[in-house]
Amino acid sequence: MKKIGANYTGDGRCIFTVWAPEKKSMTLLLLDPSEREVLMDRGKWGYFSVELTDIKPGTRYYFKPDGGKPYPDPASHFQPEGIHGPSAVVDQGAYTWQDQGWRGLSFQDLILYELHVGTFTPEGTFEAIIPRLDDLAATGINALELMPIAQFPGVRNWGYDGVYLYSVQDSYGGPAGLKKLVDACHARGMAVFLDVVYNHLGPEGNYFDQFGPYFTEKYCTPWGNAINFDEEWADGVRDYISNNPLHWFDHYHIDGLRFDAIHEVFDMGAVSIWELIHTTVKALERRLGRSLHLVAESDLNSPKVIKTPETGGLGFDAQWLDDFHHALYVLLDKAGRDRYADFGRMEQLAKALTDGFVMSGEYTAFRKRKFGTSSAGIPGDRFVAFNLNHDQVGNRVSGERLCHLIDFERQKLAAAVLLLSPYVPMLFMGEEYADESPFFYFVDHSDADLIHAVKEGRKQEFAAFGSDTEPQDPFEIETFTKSRIQWEKRTEGKHRIILEWHRKLIELRRTEAVLKNVAKNDIRVTVLGQAGLVVHRQSVGGYDHLIGLYNFSDEEVSYELPGWVLGWTKLLDSKEPQWMENGDDSSTLLPAQPKPGQVVTLPPCSVTVYTGQVQLPADAPV
């Protein structure tokens, strides 16, 4: 594959390369130290390139296809003046990394934390995140997942309007800021994931058509024409996209990528773009000697997403599990059934825990067709589960978080079901202490027509959900500032209790051998009518057992503990005084060491966790 963009090799040497297969000529316009033009050489496969020996890092430049107007480099590493301004040469070897001993983390061991750089701190920069890393690590969080950071219009955006996929957002701190953040994370034993978008490019500042056929009218996405992965001249586009993960892994020491909405990527070629990415990334993984994780967001409910290309799959290591969120949320918030009409039964949450996909071939009213196939038997560490993410919050008309929708006791229930599940859990920034700031959708476009289209689009989207509430204006700066989390509240009152609750659950996940076993064959769920359920997990070999007793109802529920263990010991009880919003309450605590077979009465809206061991046969090896 061809290296594209400005490849600075040191000592003033820089190779400029751009793909423009249907252009007759290409001119490099340099702006520093003074303006000059250099005619580029036309090579094979539609690439133009030129090597110069007097270039300094930071040199600004444009490309001029066929000697016409100047445009930024599609593979720009930095846009210091925004999406419409010149590109800048970056010396990727200038930063002195301190993470030489870093080999990454096992995906199974991750506690992911999705954050938006612009609203996580008042400064809204990479470097401003660093002082908060120790507090996150103390909670047990060991992996940041940054919402898209590729250069987007203005300074306020979720990131999904990114245009220059190789360029680090200037307002966040650019390439140097990102490297400092990644280095600081690795020093604390924390991984860093990026959210990348390969299903479309943002509309503003998108000059890619001036260079080549990056898009196709053969397919259409919710954001316009699809990226051209299988039509004429697709090879250059495939190189552009498949090189991008290597760029982040190699230059920025990123540990994993989350791929946005892969179901909106269309490729009918014999070797799909996903197989190409899988192959190139795994080769880099072997060369670097550290783990590189590929995670998909997929609306397919198909195990093929996480199968290897050799077995007919797409080659991802894991995928988001939306069905877990839907099944759990509607049991916590009855109003959620208006949003997720196909969910609402306790058996569905049980299936989400034991199988993964809830919709595995059933007819769904939402889609008006049968949907999905079974994921039973697939290990839990191939899925990412969550109670919140940017979509679940930001695509509500008032930007409500889960803590706005359910009471304190149910918040504890939600956290326990997630963090004691067999899946890799992900928290959304502030969720660990029930931050009460909304998270709205916001943009900072300069095109008036585009701003109007975005506003109208949001109104229509919420109207489709039956909302008659006027949504926040995405362009108003107040919409952005209201979305900043209130970090200082994490040590106050109920926020401190929820924070400690999350810390305790993560600690159990790390210390209890049973919770490290992600094999689905070692999970059983007993449904307690529509009131609650019991999640029974065992260690590899079946010696250690753990049961989570979850009562979702407002009434007491009785349950007979299994009788085939030596004894039960209580690990956690959500009704103990330290976990109550107002201190002690009138609930009778479940016994600390109940007898095997004893009937216990679960208090309303409660979580209780017990552990036990079975009697080994006399001739069992020790």
Cα 241 vs. chain centroid, distance in angstroms? 19
Q: pLDDT at residue 616 above 90? A: no
Q: CB neighbours of 452 closer than 8 A, spacing ≥ 6?
A: none
Contact 361/351 with Cβ under 8 angstroms? no
CA separation for the pair 517, 258 (Å, rounded): 24
pLDDT at 463: 72
For residue 528, the cross-strand partners are 532
Predicted confidence band of residue 478 (pLDDT cuts 50, 70, 90) = very high
Cα 302 vs. chain centroid, distance in angstroms? 19
The pTM (predicted TM-score) of the whole model is: 0.97
Nearest to 419 by CA among 387, 389, 393: 387
pLDDT at 585: 62
High-pLDDT (> 70) share of the chain, %: 98
3-state per-residue secondary structure call for 449-504: HHHHHHHHHHHHHHHHCCCCCCCCCCCCHHHHHCCCCCHHHHHCHHHHHHHHHHHH
- Residue appearing with tokens 């750089």: 117
Q: Which long-range contacts (CB under 8 A, 24 or more apart) does 70-73 make?
A: 70/29, 71/207, 71/210, 71/211, 72/164, 72/205, 72/207, 73/5, 73/6, 73/16, 73/18, 73/164
Number of Cβ within a 10 Å radius of residue 96: 7
CA separation for the pair 109, 102 (Å, rounded): 15
The pLDDT tens digits for 508-545 are: 999 999 999 999 999 999 999 999 999 999 999 999 99
Q: pLDDT at residue 617 above 80? A: no
- Residue appearing with tokens 């196709």: 216
The pLDDT tens digits for 157-192 are: 999 999 999 999 999 999 999 999 999 999 999 999
Nearest to 380 by CA among 508, 505, 573, 514: 514
CA separation for the pair 35, 55 (Å, rounded): 13
Q: What is the DSSP secondary structure assignment for residue 128, as one 8-state letter? A: H
Cβ neighbourhood burial of 225 (10 Å; 0-12, 13-18, 19+)? middle
The pLDDT tens digits for 200-217 are: 999 999 999 999 999 999
Q: CB neighbours of 283 closer than 8 A, spacing ≥ 6?
A: none
Q: CB neighbours of 611 closer than 8 A, spacing ≥ 6?
A: 512, 514, 544, 545, 546, 547, 568, 569, 571
High-pLDDT (> 90) share of the chain, %: 91
Structure tokens at 362: 């059933």
For residue 225, the cross-strand partners are 220
pLDDT at 471: 86
The pLDDT tens digits for 62-85 are: 999 999 999 999 999 999 999 999
| Region 354-359 average pLDDT | 98
Q: pLDDT at residue 622 above 70? A: no
| Region 32-58 average pLDDT | 97
Nearest to 423 by CA among 105, 106, 110, 192: 110
CA separation for the pair 179, 186 (Å, rounded): 11
| Region 8-22 average pLDDT | 97
Q: Of the given ranges (124-128, 224-228, 410-414, 519-523), which has the lowest mean pLDDT?
A: 224-228
- The active-site residue, picked from 145, 195, 297, 355, is 297
3-class secondary-structure state, position 357: coil
| Region 380-403 average pLDDT | 95
Active site residue 11: no
Q: pLDDT at residue 621 above 70? A: no
Backbone phi, psi, residue 17, to 5° = -135, 135
Predicted confidence band of residue 419 (pLDDT cuts 50, 70, 90) = very high
CA separation for the pair 315, 56 (Å, rounded): 40
Q: CB neighbours of 76 closer than 8 A, spacing ≥ 6?
A: 5, 6, 87, 88, 151, 164, 166, 167
Q: pLDDT at residue 587 above 90? A: no
Cis peptide upstream of residue 604 (ω within 30 degrees of 0): no
Q: pLDDT at residue 439 above 70? A: yes
pLDDT at 583: 76
For residue 550, the cross-strand partners are 533, 607
Predicted confidence band of residue 447 (pLDDT cuts 50, 70, 90) = confident
CA separation for the pair 485, 506 (Å, rounded): 22
Active site residue 297: yes
pLDDT at 42: 97
CA separation for the pair 384, 426 (Å, rounded): 7
Cα 360 vs. chain centroid, distance in angstroms? 23
pLDDT at 270: 96
- The active-site residue, picked from 183, 231, 260, 544, is 260
Tell me, what amino acid is at 407? D
pLDDT at 618: 66
Q: What is the DSSP secondary structure assignment for residue 239, as one 8-state letter? A: H
The CA distances from residue 501 to 154, 434, 462, 517, 607, in Å, are: 38, 11, 34, 22, 11
